[in-house]
Structure 1
Amino acid sequence: MAAAPIVEIDPQHPQPRLIERAVQTLSSGGLIAFPTDTYYAIGCDLFDKRAIERIYQLKQLPRSHELSFICPDLAEVSRYAIVDNAAYRVLRRKTPGPFTFVLPATRLVPDLVLRRQKTVGVRLPDSPIALALVRALAHPVISTSAAAPDGEVLIDAHDIKERLGHGLDLILDGGFKPNEASSVIDLTGPEPVVVRQGKGDTSDLLL
């Protein structure tokens, strides 16, 4: 299989025709790489089981590895996750931003992306490209780091093509992205718990 083409896209004002091209790829079961507010992600349609399986194969991940997905807004988050008042206050304060929120899943979430205890990892990134993709697709998009099987996180579109391009269908080049993971915040309990400190300020959650 030929390596995926690289398409340069404006990270702040993504061109609608390029978003449409990416959405057509996602709709037909394809995998794309795209920049977020943390690092490049590999994504597919949340409801395409075969595409999700392809992500596991491409990154050589165990099926126990948890995948997060991107929603365009809080209304969409509440379709796929159970958001109580306390969690909603955190989400309103922290989105869009470089955070992954662990929340109880609703029945709409496919089994393949359910975490332990039937939770999900949800992102609302501060990324015009990522948000344009999920709005245009009208489905959440799986978002997992563009990391090679050896664990190296790839921060440039050309590196992604070289290491992972054989398993991708399109690479959106939004420029160099520093290697910064999202902070993971568990909102399933009575108090927010910072599971992983990454990009983004979490100090106000620990009061």
Structure 2
Amino acid sequence: MLKDEVNKALKVLQDGGIILYPTDTIWGIGCDATNTEAVQKIFALKQREESKSMIVLIDNDNKLQSYITEVPEIAYQLIEFAENPLTLVMPGARNLSPALIADDGSVGIRVSNHPFCQQLIQRLRKPIVSTSANISGQPSPEYFAKIDHDIIDGVDYVVDIDQHSMEKKSPSTIMRLDPNGSFEFIRR
């Protein structure tokens, strides 16, 4: 079942589509993080200003260097020892859609521990976008049943995993990390 869902989602992403999928935090809307046209579809669906950035997921921290020019050494320790899912916002973003990179050159990246996300990213060989499955300004849905039908109808594929789970999940902790190792919390 997991393999089938990964295959279906992979095809949609390779074709430039957007998906609704479970993550290690809340349900996300995603696409190939290198495909600007697909990223813009997500902004349109969420009715979100393009100046508000979205995060990207990778499957392991070895890939940070592919998308961040200068990864601070402390980033690896923060990821390894974080008790909850942690998104790191770092400057020097590269090899991603320009639509995902903030005006200051930064991007938020999280290493996902969710089996579906990990397999999908490994098969795609690229990071995927992850943004909360809601219209901009609305509360983030804690589980699938709380996702707005406009979102469900607006994506190209809804992943059929964890849809019946009522476990309440929260968004990740977000921390801004500078190349010199200094950091600040944006969301706890």
Same fold, judged at TM 0.5 (above): yes
Alignment map for 1:101-140 (pairs within 5 Å): 101-140=88-127
Report the residue type matching 1:169 in the other structure.
D
1:180 to 2:133 alignment: no
Q: Deviations over 1:116-173 (max 9, x none)?
A: 3211100112211111111111110000001134513234435436231221011123
8 Å CA contact retained: 2:55, 2:108: yes
CA distance in 2 between counterparts of 1:129 and 1:151 reads 26
Report the residue type matching 1:111 in the other structure.
P
How big is the alpha-carbon RMSD for the aligned residues of Structure 1 and Structure 2?
Answer: 2.0
For structure 1, which runs of at least 5 residues remain unmatched after alignment?
A: 1-8, 10-14, 198-207
Identity %: 25
Report the residue type matching 1:171 in the other structure.
V
8 Å CA contact retained: 2:12, 2:18: yes
Report the residue type matching 1:119 in the other structure.
S
Alignment TM-score, normalising by the size of structure 2? 0.88
2:73 counterpart residue number:
85
1:193 to 2:184 alignment: yes
Report the residue type matching 2:51 in the other structure.
S
1:21 counterpart residue number:
8
1:50 counterpart residue number:
37
Report the residue type matching 2:14 in the other structure.
S
Structure 1 stretch displaced more, 146-155 or 120-129 = 146-155
Shift in alpha-carbon separation, 1:177–1:28, aligned structure 2, 3 A = farther
Q: Deviations over 1:51-101 (max 9, x none)?
A: 111100100000111111001111111110121222232233338x51110
CA distance in 2 between counterparts of 1:40 and 1:92 reads 23
1:67 to 2:54 alignment: yes
CA distance in 1 between counterparts of 2:94 and 2:50 reads 20
Report the residue type matching 1:170 in the other structure.
Y
8 Å CA contact retained: 2:36, 2:99: yes
8 Å CA contact retained: 1:39, 1:180: yes
Shift in alpha-carbon separation, 1:147–1:108, aligned structure 2, 3 A = same
CA distance in 2 between counterparts of 1:55 and 1:184 reads 21
Structure 1 stretch displaced more, 24-33 or 81-90 = 81-90
CA distance in 1 between counterparts of 2:136 and 2:186 reads 23
1:40 counterpart residue number:
27
